[in-house]
Structure 1
Amino acid sequence: MYSPIPSNIDVALISPFKGEHIGSILRPHALIEARKSHDAGELSSEALKQLEDSCIANVVKFQRDLGFRAVTDGEYRRHMFFNGFYDNLEGITYVPEPKLDIFAAYLPYVDKVRAKGFSQPTYIATGKIRRTKPCYVPWFEYLAKQVPAEEIKHVKMNMASPEWYHFRHMSQHAYTSEAYASDDEYFADIATAFRAELADLYAAGCRNVQIDGPVLTFFCSPGITSKMREMGLDPDSLLDRYIALYNDCLKDRKPDMKIGWHLCRGNFKGGIHYAEGGYDPIAEKVFGKIDVDVFYLEYDTPRTGTFDPLRFVPTNKGVVLGLISSKDPELEDPDYIIARMKEAAAAMGDLEMKRISVSLQCGFASHFEGNNISWEEMEAKLKLVIQVAKKVWGTI
C-alpha cells in the first residue's frame, strides 16, 4: 500500500492505524455517550449496536476517502483494544472489581491504580477454555460489507494477543487450580481457541490480521524486568514461552492470511505510556522467531531507542515504522519523518525501502474515550501519512 515490498508480504498490511489499537480511531461523541448509557443500563444492546453500525459505516468511508485500503472498524465495538476474544470464550469469568493483589506486581500501572483507590476489571479462567462461538467474525463480516468485494482482502481485523491475561496475573491468578494444573495446559487451550478463530475469519474472507501485543515491550523495560527477577521470575524464559505460544496460535494459518504484530509501550486514556526502552533486549528473538509477516513498531519518542535492533528483522519480513504520534496533536515535519525512515532502512540494509512503511505509532483510542487529540488533528495526522508515502514512493 505504501511501499513496493516483496510479494511474500501483502502490501495491504501496511495500514496507517497503529497501536495497542491498530485501527483504533477516535470515537464520535454520540457513540461515547451511548456506550456510557449502555454500561449504566440505560440503553439496550440492540440500540447501541445500531449506532455502532452507523458509525462504522461512516468511519470506513472516512478512511477510504483519505486513500487507505487496509481499513478497520475503528474498534468502535470495544471498550478497550483487547476486547472481543477472551470475553467470548467459555471458561473465562469476568471479574468487575478484582483485588489488586491478583495483578502481577511488576505491572507499572498497578501502583497508579492503587494510588487512585480503584481496581481494573479483568478476566480469569475458572473452567476449561473453549471457543464455542465466533469472536471477531461477526465484526469482520459487517466491516467487509462496507467495501467493494475486490477490497475485502485488504480489510484489517485486530485481535488481542494470547498472553494478555497471563502476563497481567501470572500463573497464580490467571486461572484457578480447578481449571488448570499448569501454564502448558492453559496456553494449549488458548492456542486452540485462537487457531479456530483465525480459521473462521479466513473462511469469512479475512486475509489481514493485526495482533496487538504490547506485552512484548514490557520485556524491553529494565524497571519491569528487574521487578520480575525480584519476584523470582526469569524474563528470558518467560519471553521464550510466550513466543512458543504465539507460534502455536499461528501454526495453521493459511499462507495468504497475512499476520502483523504490533508492539507498543502503552497508549491508555490520555496517552499514558507504561514501558520504556529500546527493542534491543528482545529484537533477535522476537523478530527472528515469531512467525508473522510484519511488525508494527512504535518509534515516535526517544524512549523507544534506536533503529539498530532492526538489523535482526529477517529479509522475508517487513516493518511499519510508527514515527507519527497519535498522542501529540502537533503535526510532524514530513521531511524529518522521511529522514528517519532512511535511517531505519540503513539499519535494516534496505536502502531501497522495500521492507519498511510508515504509520502512526499507535491507535488514537485504545480506550473508547480516546486521547487528547481532536478529530481534525487526527485527520491531519492521517493525511500526513499519505503525504509522506507519496513523497517517498510516489504512490499509495
Structure 2
Amino acid sequence: MSAGLKLLPPFRADHIGSLKRPAKLLQKRKELDEGKATIEELRLVEDEAIREIVQLQREVGIKSITDGEFRRHMFFDGVFDNLDGMKFIKPVPPEMFMDYVPDIAAFKVHNFKGADSYICVSKLKRTKQFYVPQYEALKALTAPEEHKNLKITMAAPEWFHLRHGEYAYPKDVYKNDEEYFDDIALAYRQEIAELYAAGCRNIQFDDPLLAYFCAESMIRGMEERGVDHVALLDTYIATYNKLLAEKPADMTAGLHLCRGNFKNGMHFSEGGYDRIAIKLFREINVDCYYLEYDTPRAGTFEPLRWLPPNKSVVLGLITSKFPQLEDQEDLIKRVHNAANIIADGEEKRSFEEALNQICISPQCGFASHAEGNLVDEAGMRAKLSLVVQTAKKLWKDA
C-alpha cells in the first residue's frame, strides 16, 4: 500500500449515497405534501424503508452504509434549506439563473416550469443542524459495530452560488465572494465538528458543479458573460479547504463529481477531468474522490496521473442510470488501465501501489432525485453486487 494512504473508508466496494426509494415511501411523502399525512407518519415509513435498504447493503456486502438519502427529496437537501439568511423562492425570475450553468440550460431546453431555489438575503448563520439528525437516526437503525462505517453525504458549498451568479447574495450583505463563502465555510466547520462528536467518521460532498468546469459549453458561456472561471474555481477550492481546515485526521472526507443524474438518467454536461485535474487532485484537501467514469462523456483516465500517493480514487465504472449490467472482465481491465496511468503519473509508483489507491462504485447514486432512475430495486441490487464481486477479484482486502 502506498505510504501514508488512508484507504478505509472509502472501501474497495463503495456506493455514492442515494438508493432507490420504495413506492410506499414516495406515496407517503406525496400524502404529506398534500396534507393527508403527518410528519410523524412519514418518519415511521422512512424508518422502515431505511431498515430495509440497510439490510440490502449488508446482504450485497457494501460496508460504507448510508440511509439511501431516504429523508431527502433531492441529494443537495440539508444545508441551504436550514441555513439562516437563505430564502426559498418559487418561481425564480429567469434572469436570476445563469444560462451558462449546464443544468440550467438543460432545464430551459426541456421547458421545466416554476423552478424553485434558495437565495441569500441576509448574513448566513448556522443555528440548527444540517445532517446530524440524519446520522443519529441511521445510528439508531444500525448495529454499534457498523457506526464507524456510516457515511453521510453533504451538499456542495457552492451549490446555489454558481447557478445564480451575481444574484447569489445582496451586495449590501456581502461585498464579495470571499465574505460570502467565509460564513458558509464556518457553518460547515460547525456541522462537521458536531457530526464528529456524534460518531461520524465518513463524509462525502456531492458536487456536480466542479465537473461543470470540465464542460466547454460552460467555459464559453462564462467568458461571454465576463465571468472569470479560473478565479471562481479557485474560490470554490479555497472554500473547501476552509471548511475542512479543522476536520479531525481520523475522519475521511470524500468528494463526488458527476455530470448530472436527473430523472430517467438525464445528464447535464460532458467533458473529461483534464481541465481541472491538477487543481482537483493537488489543491483540494480531501482524502478521496468519487468520479463518474461509466461513459465516454467523462473522458479518459489520463487525468489520474495527477493523483498524489496519499489519496484514493473511487472509480464510478458501473452506471446507475440504466439497468443493463456491465461485464466484469471489462471492469477489471479498466481498473488495471487506471492503475497503470496512476503508476506512470507525475509521481511514479509501482502498479501494486497504484492499484491499492483505487476503489470502485457506481458512477452516481440511484436516486439523486426522489423518483430515481430507470433501475428498479432488483437491478440496483445486481449492480451493487457486481461492485462487490468485482472488488473481491481485484483486491485481497475487499
TM range (shorter): over 0.9
Taking the aligned partners of 2:72 and 2:394, their CA distance within structure 1 comes to: 35
Query: For the Cα contact (< 8 Å) 2:56–2:381, is it kept in 1?
Result: no
Query: Match of 2:128?
Result: 133
How far apart are 1:119 and its partner, in Å?
3.1
Equivalent pair of 2:215/2:270 in contact (CA under 8 Å):
yes
User: What is the RMSD computed on CA atoms of the aligned residues?
Assistant: 1.5
2:167 paired with 1:165: no
Q: Is the CA contact (8 Å cut-off) linking 2:241 and 2:285 kept in structure 1?
A: yes
Residue 356 of structure 2 corresponds to 354
Q: How does 1:299-318 map to 2 (within 5 A)?
A: 299-318=293-312
Is the Cα–Cα contact under 8 Å of residues 366 and 373 in structure 2 kept in the other structure? yes
Q: Does 1:63 align with 2:60?
A: no
* AA of the residue aligned to 2:269: A
Q: Distance in 2 between matches of 1:10 and 1:338?
A: 19
Structure 1: give runs of 5+ residues left out of the alignment: none
> 1:10-59 deviations in whole A, cap 9, x for unaligned?
423237554xxx21000000111111222222221121122111111211
How far apart are 1:135 and its partner, in Å? 1.1
**TM norm structure 1:** 0.95
Structure 2 match to 1:231: 225
Does structure 1 conserve the Cα–Cα contact (< 8 Å) formed by 2:5 and 2:312?
Answer: no
2:9 to 3, 9, 12: 12
- Aligned partners of 2:12 and 2:371: how far apart in 1? 22
CA contact (8 A) 1:6 1:354 kept: no
Is the CA contact 2:9–2:149 (under 8 Å) kept in the aligned structure 1?
Answer: yes
Count of equivalent residues: 389
C-alpha displacement of 1:84: 0.8
Q: Matched residues in 2 for 1:83 and 1:125: separation? A: 16
The answer as to whether partners of 1:159 and 1:209 remain within 8 angstroms in 2 is yes
Q: What's the CA shift for 1:178? A: 3.9
Quick check: 1:5–1:11 contact (8 Å CA) kept in 2? no
Q: Which residue of 2 aligns with 1:143?
A: 138
1:179 matched to 2:181: no
| Equivalent in the alignment of 1:374 | 376
Match of residue 95 from structure 2: 101
Q: 1:6 and 1:148, CA in 2 relative to 1: closer, same or farther beyond 3 A?
A: farther
Q: Which residue number in structure 1 is paired with residue 285 of structure 2? A: 291
- Preserved contact between residue 206 and residue 257 of structure 1 (Cα < 8 Å): yes
TM-superposed deviation, 1:395: 4.4
**Aligned equivalents of 1:173, 1:151: Cα separation in 2:** 43
CA–CA separation in structure 2 for the residues paired with 1:267 and 1:6: 35
Aligned to 2:81: 87
Identity of aligned residues (%): 47
8 Å Cα contact 1:52/1:77 also seen in 2: yes
Shift of 1:8: 3.9
Per the alignment, residue 202 of structure 2 pairs with: 208
What is the CA deviation profile of residues 177-216 of structure 1, one whole-angstrom value per residue up to 9, with x for unaligned ones? 3432221111111000000000000000000001101111
Q: Is the 8 A contact 2:102 2:268 kept in 1?
A: yes
Distance 1:31 1:137 in 2: 22
Structure 2 unaligned segments of length 5 or more: list them.
Answer: 344-349
